[in-house]
Amino acid sequence: MLRSGCEEESEAPGQAGPVLAGMAEATIQPGSDQREPKAGPAVPRGQTGRAAAGAAADARPAAIDVRGVSKCYQIYKHPSDRLKQALTRWKKKYYREFWAVRDVSLTVRRGESVGIIGRNGSGKSTLMQMIAGTLNPTEGSVRVNGQISALLELGAGFNAEFTGRENVYLAGSIRGLSRKRVNELYDRIVEFADIGDFIDQPVKTYSSGMYVRLAFAVAAQVRPEILVVDEALAVGDVFFQQRCHKYMREELADTTKLLVTHDLNAVANHCDRALVMHKGRVAFEGEPLDAIAFYTKIVHNAQFGGDKAPGTGAKSPPQGEVLGANSGGTAGALDESLPWVEVPADKLGGAGDVVIRRVALADSNGEPVRAIQPRDAFACYFEIDVATPKQDLIFGVVMNDRFGNAVFGDNSLSKPKVALACPEAGTYVVRMDYAWPEVRPAEYTATFGIGEGKHAHHHTVQCWAHNVVSVTGIAPQRPVHGMFTNPVKDVRITRVG
């Protein structure tokens, strides 16, 4: 037994756990205990908003209970260091420890859908493998109550030399299903996979998309009590992904689901709550939209600001206006009559040289906008602090629906003759005028953003303020079909026979 509790592994730092050959499928019988090598701390993560209240009131039994789980690997610089370590035992350490997961606690209730998001290398896949039973935790315990079906990394769980048909029966036997039961499910599995005559070809000839089609079809059609999916659907085409999400939403509504994905729309649409993992730990746990905003902030901070906290700019700057084609270039007074909303620090992300302090969404009279209909004029205001003089600033606003989907928005680059700059450090006010489009009646939240550069998609994100104000869109004049209306220009009917 290793004294350090770490598992030997020669993978490169940043890889969270050993790389499996492919799509692992694990079955754990009801009431089983996964390995408990060492009792770890059993401190559950905190929750926020409605998720916290819902969890407290939820009397459903736990399907997955993770307590203080950690996973450590020994990283050796040279292959010979392994032999030296074996010869010297613990007199000298020839490796460094890499903790892929550290002190994670998680409870998933029966019938609940939980999403896990995070940057690559944050420990998501390692955690999923420990839950599925393909990895042992270094510390802590994982308890699974129910039959679990896990789709992990592409390739495992099937025998590459077997045909698709043979692998269906193999997967069924691994799950403890009789041949008679697999016969009953076989036609539905083949129909869902929709890979045609390739079902009788060795799976080593399959594309990644065909592979995941068959793997998901097998995992879903056996109706597991717990379904664990780790990025498996990302390799399928868009039509298959839509079919899978529809199946999980309708046919597996009562199944406990644990999803690891970079598809934020899937998290918003399918999950009751979500976790954000960062550097091996659970950094946030709460409602999906809040988790998505938190994750986006982490990505922006890492990409543009490093570890610098947003809002470390000028402390007591003078006031002024952003200089541009629509600006007089003179300092002005701040209109305190606008419906300003303070932006809390946890809503901000980005490089932080320009920071959003307050925002306002007002009608043409400067009054708060509560309900708005198509073609109504409205304005979005930013109050910003600028730490250093800035050229080529980009300002934009995006409206998100209740699922977190970005429905519509625009930025200042749409006005090509407007070059926006803050010539000196200070506090500035930005106003952007819009007309409400013909979108589905619903409540929308506004995300305000500031970039620096000359390209709409490739620029430095200076600051984003996520979902800070809301407005209700209405459509009293005519119904909206879909997310927005594409008006009919003409209708004709012609007899041809």
The pLDDT tens digits for 132-143 are 888 899 999 999
Domain 7-297 has CATH 3.40.50.300: yes
The model's confidence at residue 306, banded by pLDDT at 50, 70 and 90, is low
Local structure of 1: helix, strand or coil? coil
Task: Give residue 299's pLDDT.
Answer: 76
Determine the Cα–Cα distance for residues 209 and 458; give it in Å rounded to an integer: 30
**Number of residues that this document lists for the chain:** 497
In this model, does residue 450 exceed pLDDT 80?
yes
Residue with tokens 């708060």, as numbered in its chain: 368
Per-residue pLDDT tens digits for 324-336: 434 444 455 678 8
> In the 8-state DSSP scheme, what is residue 308?
P
Determine the Cα–Cα distance for residues 217 and 365; give it in Å rounded to an integer: 57
Per-residue pLDDT tens digits for 214-245: 888 888 787 788 888 887 666 666 777 778 87
Q: List CB contacts of 431: < 8 A, sequence separation 6 or more.
A: 379, 380, 381, 382
Average pLDDT estimate for 313-319? 36
Characterize 429-462 residue by residue with b for buried, 16 or more Cβ atoms within 10 angstroms of its Cβ, and e for exposed: bbbbebebebbbebebbbbbbbbbbeeeeebbbb
Task: Give residue 404's pLDDT.
Answer: 81
In this model, does residue 361 exceed pLDDT 90?
yes
Local structure of 301: helix, strand or coil? helix
Mean pLDDT of the chain: 78
Q: How far is CA 278 from the centre of its chain?
A: 12
**25 touches 173 (CB < 8 A):** no
**62 touches 109 (CB < 8 A):** yes
Sign of the alpha-carbon dihedral angle for 481, 266, 466, 390 = negative
Task: Give residue 265's pLDDT.
Answer: 72
Residue with tokens 């988790």, as numbered in its chain: 291
> Comparing C-alpha atoms, which of 287, 192, 196 is closest to residue 242?
192
DSSP track, 240-252: HHHHHHHHHHHTT
Task: Give residue 303's pLDDT.
Answer: 60
Which amino acid is it at 423?
P
Q: What beta strand segments (E) does 25-125 contain?
A: 62-76, 95-109, 113-118
Report the chain's C-alpha Rg in angstroms.
27
Cross-strand bridge partners of residue 69: 104
DSSP track, 254-266: TSEEEEE-S-HHH
**Residue 29: Cβ within 10 Å count:** 12
Task: Give residue 328's pLDDT.
Answer: 41
In this model, does residue 312 exceed pLDDT 50?
no
Q: Where in the chain is the domain with CATH 2.70.50.60?
A: 319-473
Determine the Cα–Cα distance for residues 290 and 46; give it in Å rounded to an integer: 14
Determine the Cα–Cα distance for residues 301 and 305; give it in Å rounded to an integer: 5
Determine how β-strand 281-286 pairs with β-strand 273-278.
antiparallel
Considering only residues 334 and 128, tell me which one the structure prediction assigns the higher pLDDT: 128
- Tokens standing for residue 449: 């953003």
Average pLDDT estimate for 463-468? 89
Task: Give residue 359's pLDDT.
Answer: 94
Determine the Cα–Cα distance for residues 91 and 493; give it in Å rounded to an integer: 89
Q: What is the pTM of this model?
A: 0.63
The model's confidence at residue 103, banded by pLDDT at 50, 70 and 90, is very high
- Tokens standing for residue 270: 């399918």
Residue with tokens 């944050």, as numbered in its chain: 122
- Tokens standing for residue 218: 């097998």
- Tokens standing for residue 232: 């498996």
- Tokens standing for residue 14: 């940043």
Task: Give residue 289's pLDDT.
Answer: 79
Q: What percent of the chain has pLDDT over 70?
A: 79
What phi, psi does 336 have (nearest 5°)?
A: -80, -5
Per-residue pLDDT tens digits for 382-435: 999 999 999 889 999 999 988 788 899 999 888 876 778 898 999 999 999 999
Characterize 153-192 residue by residue with b for buried, 16 or more Cβ atoms within 10 angstroms of its Cβ, and e for exposed: bbbbbbeeeebbebbbbbbbeebebeeeebeebbeebbeb
Instruction: Decide which of 2.70.50.60, 3.40.50.970, 2.30.30.140, 3.40.50.1980 is the CATH code for 319-473.
Output: 2.70.50.60
Per-residue pLDDT tens digits for 7-63: 554 444 433 333 333 333 333 333 444 433 333 333 334 444 444 445 444 678 899
Which strand (E) or helix (H) includes residue 445?
strand 442-452
Which strand (E) or helix (H) includes residue 168?
helix 164-174
Which strand (E) or helix (H) includes residue 276?
strand 273-278
Determine the Cα–Cα distance for residues 255 and 169; give it in Å rounded to an integer: 23
Task: Give residue 253's pLDDT.
Answer: 83
> In the 8-state DSSP scheme, what is residue 407?
E
Average pLDDT estimate for 290-307? 71
In this model, does residue 110 exceed pLDDT 60?
yes
**361 touches 399 (CB < 8 A):** no
**Residue 389: Cβ within 10 Å count:** 12
